Amino acid sequence: MEGEVEFHTFVGWIHRLRKQGSLLFIILRTHKEPHAYIQCVMKGKLAKTCSKNPGVYREATISLTGTLHDDARAPGGVELKVTDWELIGPSDEEIEGRIRPESGPEVMADNRHIQLRGTHMSNVVKLRAAILRGFRHHFEEEDVTEVSPPTIVQTQVEGGSTLFKLKYFDQEAYLTQSSQLYLETACPAVGDCFCVLPSFRAEKSRTRRHVSEFTHLEMEYAFIDFEGLLTRLEKMVKDVVKYVCEKKGDLLEEVNPGMVEKCKTLVEEPFIRMKYTEAIDWLKEHEVYKNEEEKIFYTYEDDIPEKPERFMVDTIGKPILLTHFPTHQKPFYMKTPADHPEVTESVDLLMPSVGEIIGGSMREGDYEKIMDGFKREGIKPDPYYWYTDLRKFGSFPHGGAGVGVDRFVCWLGGIDHIRDVILYPRNCNRCKP
Ligand code: 4AD
């Protein structure tokens, strides 16, 4: 009705608080669009009583009612002129000293629950959610079924050295390293499938891309060949990128300025495909040494460590599907082409600035070859009877991969360290908060 004043109420947390003369400015964090952050202003007596309240500090929960006015200087272009307020959950002045811009990583980590409330961190958490939605959207479109394998298991997947052992009542069990074996068994039940679950690796080294618990998005495809697997992985990554740019482009731009534009090229161009032997040749051509002092180059037998791998992908500056790793470097389940038993049908997707974000392969379908693999790795086959049964009762060509979701977020968000994209990161020195 003409002339009638419309009042709005917003509930949230005091993100910022500033007194200016008789005015009190509050940036309220609501997380509800279109006013996720809203500038609110009080004046006169209202400002005085509010600022004098012993519970009104940053992070107090407050309800603010008033009228909305356009203001180009305010976030979101509007300002709430407050006419009424109510303190819901008081805060304390201690909040100001908890973390400061100069606080070191350990102080930040101890106060992770506070750090998360910051603009950047909460944006990263939202970006991660958008990325996961992008994956689920892709799988929905491709008719891939989500399944939920267990995370307490009695089998290893990626080598005994990174297993977390635990006492499970009176038996020995592990925290899962990968849900792959279970996904393989779900294929004959539901066809193509995926899961999003934590995987655990007892990684002793503290690098900027390893944690002890990571979000592992794994998928398994039935009746696929290696070429088909590579094509599907590339399409998956491009679909997720397109989804995030389309649905949350502003958020991505805020977290990683310029990325939306870069993504336009990324989704248009085919990913580079490179065999492992070609990568070894590339390192030699670019004078990357295994032993700098003695000028020794990497050979086809060597494992390429993180540093030279990063140098290669950063220099090339484009996603690389690195394929055909040597058999002796890879786990028991990987398929080897009949005419080349020395290599596996395996792939790592390498991204500039992060390195490997996906690892996958075709799976060995032959019972005897799986048994040979167990022998090679010194694994007792008995606990794997349900896995080897897959090769007894209706074997079929299949393959899949695992995405390190945290590394994917690092890559898309342009974030240097994996701990900065995880709600509560775990490494060999930290299991709190
Ligand atoms: O290459 P990985 O070890 O492959 C597997 O686990 C397969 N079984 C997956 C499958 O085929 N279903 O791990 C897959 C991805 C890596 O590319 C990396 O992005 C991530 O998981 N990852 C880690 N991320 C953070 N911290 C760690 N310690 C990680 N280990 C692996």
DSSP letters along 185-250, please?
A: HHHHHHSSEEEEEEEE----S--TT--SEEEEEEEEEES--HHHHHHHHHHHHHHHHHHHHHHHHH
In the block, which residue shows the tokens 């004959």? 188
Above 90 in pLDDT, residue 388?
yes
Choose among 65, 61, 64, 63: nearest CA to 92. Answer: 61
Element (H, E) at 24: strand 23-29
The model carries a pTM of 0.96
CB atoms closer than 10 angstroms to residue 261: 11
The closest residue, in CA terms, to atom 27 on ligand 1 is 210
- The interface pTM score, or ipTM, of the predicted complex is 0.99
Choose among 205, 197, 203: nearest CA to 181. Answer: 197
The closest residue, in CA terms, to atom 11 on ligand 1 is 401
For ligand 1, what atom is nearest to the CA of residue 210?
26
For ligand 1, what atom is nearest to the CA of residue 361?
11
State the greatest distance between any 2 C-alpha atoms of the chain, in Å, as a whole number.
Answer: 85
For ligand 1, what atom is nearest to the CA of residue 349?
17
The closest residue, in CA terms, to atom 9 on ligand 1 is 402
Residues 6 or more apart whose CB falls under 8 angstroms from that of 55 comprise 87, 89, 90, 91, 92
pLDDT at 203: 87
Average pLDDT across the chain, whole number? 96
pLDDT band per the 50, 70, 90 thresholds, residue 4: confident
Average pLDDT over residues 383-397: 96
Contact 155, 384 (CB under 8 A): yes
State phi, psi for 162 to the nearest 5 degrees: -115, 20
Q: Report the alpha-carbon distance of residue 113 to residue 131 in Å, rounded.
A: 22
**Is 398's C-beta closer than 6 angstroms to any atom of ligand 1?**
no
**Is 358's C-beta closer than 6 angstroms to any atom of ligand 1?**
yes
Q: Which pair of tokens denotes residue 129?
A: 């959610």
Average pLDDT over residues 406-414: 98
Average pLDDT over residues 160-174: 95
401: left (phi over 0), alpha (psi -120 to 50) or beta: beta
Above 60 in pLDDT, residue 43?
yes
Q: What are the C-alpha distances in Å from 62 to residues 65, 89, 110, 122, 346?
A: 10, 7, 26, 19, 54
The closest residue, in CA terms, to atom 1 on ligand 1 is 359
**Is 112's C-beta closer than 6 angstroms to any atom of ligand 1?**
no
pLDDT band per the 50, 70, 90 thresholds, residue 2: low
Q: Report the alpha-carbon distance of residue 354 to residue 72 in Å, rounded.
A: 38
Contact 34, 76 (CB under 8 A): yes
**Is 420's C-beta closer than 6 angstroms to any atom of ligand 1?**
no
The closest residue, in CA terms, to atom 28 on ligand 1 is 210
Average pLDDT over residues 255-275: 97
State phi, psi for 336 to the nearest 5 degrees: -115, 140
